[in-house]
Amino acid sequence: MDDTLMDRLRASVSRYGPLSLFLIPTLAIYLFFAIYPTLSVIGYSMTKWNGISPEKTWVGFANYTKMFSDRIFWEAFQNTFVWSAVIVVINVGLGLVIAALLSRVWRGRLILQTLIVLPVVISPMAVATIWRWMLQPKGVINETLTSIGLDGLARPWLGDPDVVLFALAFAHSWSTIGLSVIIFLAGLQSVDEDLYDAAKIDGATTFQAFRYVTIPALRPVTAVVFILTLTAAFKAFDLIWATTKGGPIRFSEILSTYMYKRGALENQYGYGSAIGVALLVIVSLATLLYLKLQARPEDR
């Protein structure tokens, strides 16, 4: 009896031993520090809790009803969409144009590409100091505008309610557009050369070829860039926090900064978590769409 028990034990060790060696360290870390907090954020969002006291009161959906009638939440929500829309338009539109131009250059292409993509690796915190300095009232942007006679356009970019969100979106795009360029370039390499030859024979101009051959052929890649840019914009926090902290007043407040203020600074863990769940739902849906788009080529 002991023998068979030992045998079975030995058999199961040799069966599952290596497997657990390979999986358990990762699973332990992943489940505890990623999955558990994700489930907790949903749990927290249904409580009233200051984050410290042992007393955590169950409130059901009260935080959500509060959220939906919170004017500041909707302002942040709207700002998040405006901020994301500006970034998407720049990164998809300009990103495609830059990639298309780069694909037509041979000599000097690597250096041009390197300079354009380089800001991608710079930390959002460093991007924040660079742009805060350039956008200040006496900063280099206003200095340049004044020196070329466009004084009328000069303004305190980060202090002006009408432009602050756009100025920050522009800084975000500066530091992320390189990623769009890289992905578009990869896409452009896979466009069938014969299509261009056919277009040329039909007498199409370069612009027409771009409009009627390149753009349709790049539709799947464009969708990928679109969603990646969108989710990255939705998740952003560092750049805005390090420049305006959502200000002036709330003119650059987005969901992530509002959540941080309510949750981490004002210790409203329940309410902050409800905002977190809103963010989670939006980003998850967009990522799910992305994964579906990515999976498609393999299905064919």
- Among positions 185-204, residues that touch another protein (CB under 8 A) are 186
For residue 26, state whether it binds another protein (rule: CB under 8 A).
yes
Return d(Cα 23, Cα 32) in angstroms, integer: 14
Interface with another protein (CB under 8 A), residue total 88
Greatest extent of the chain over all pairs of C-alpha atoms, in Å: 95
Residue span binding another protein (CB under 8 A) among the ranges 63-71, 83-91, 149-157, 231-239: 231-239
Taking CA atoms, 289 is separated from 40, 69, 71, 212, in Å, by: 24, 29, 30, 26
Task: Round to whole Å and give the CA distance between 257 and 280.
Answer: 14
Identify which of residues 4 and 140 has a Cβ nearer to another protein in the complex.
140
Contact 262, 272 (CB under 8 A): yes
Q: Which of 231, 244, 252, 253 binds another protein (CB under 8 A)?
A: 231
Q: According to the binding rule CB under 8 A, does residue 174 interact with another protein? A: yes
Judged by beta carbon, residue 195 or residue 280, the one nearer another protein is: 280
CB of 93 to another protein, least distance (A): 13
Of the candidates 33, 69, 148, 201, which one interacts with another protein according to CB under 8 A? 33
Residue placing its CB nearer to another protein in the complex, 4 or 54: 54
Q: Which of residues 108-137 bind another protein (CB under 8 A)?
A: 108, 111-112, 114-126, 128-134
Of 2-10, 37-45, 78-86, 212-220: span binding another protein (CB under 8 A)? 37-45
Dig out the tokens for 199 from the structure.
């277009």
Structural contact between residues 201 and 140, judged by C-beta atoms closer than 8 angstroms: no
- Beta-strand relationship, 57-58 and 47-48: antiparallel
In the chain, which ranges are E strands? 47-48, 57-58
| Contacts of 60-67 spanning 24+ positions with Cβ under 8 A | 63/270, 63/271, 63/273, 63/274, 64/274, 66/271, 66/274, 67/271, 67/274, 67/275, 67/278
Question: Amino acid letter at 184?
Answer: F
Q: Which of residues 242-271 bind another protein (CB under 8 A)?
A: 242, 256, 259-260, 263-264, 269
Residue 4 or 112 with smaller CB distance to another protein? 112
**Of 59, 72, 223, 280, which lies in the binding site for another protein, with binding defined by CB under 8 A?**
280
For 132-185, the DSSP string reads: HHHHSTTSHHHHHHHHTT-GGG---TTT-TTTHHHHHHHHHHHHHHHHHHHHHH
DSSP 48: E
Q: Which of 13, 25, 50, 150 binds another protein (CB under 8 A)?
A: 25
* First vs last C-alpha separation in the chain: 55
Cβ closest to another protein, residue 3 vs residue 298: 298
Residue 138 CA to its chain's centroid (Å): 30
- Indicate whether 85 belongs to the interface with another protein (CB under 8 A): no
148 binds another protein (CB under 8 A): no
Q: Is 75 in the site for another protein (CB under 8 A)?
A: no
Find the shortest distance in angstroms from Cβ 98 to another protein.
6
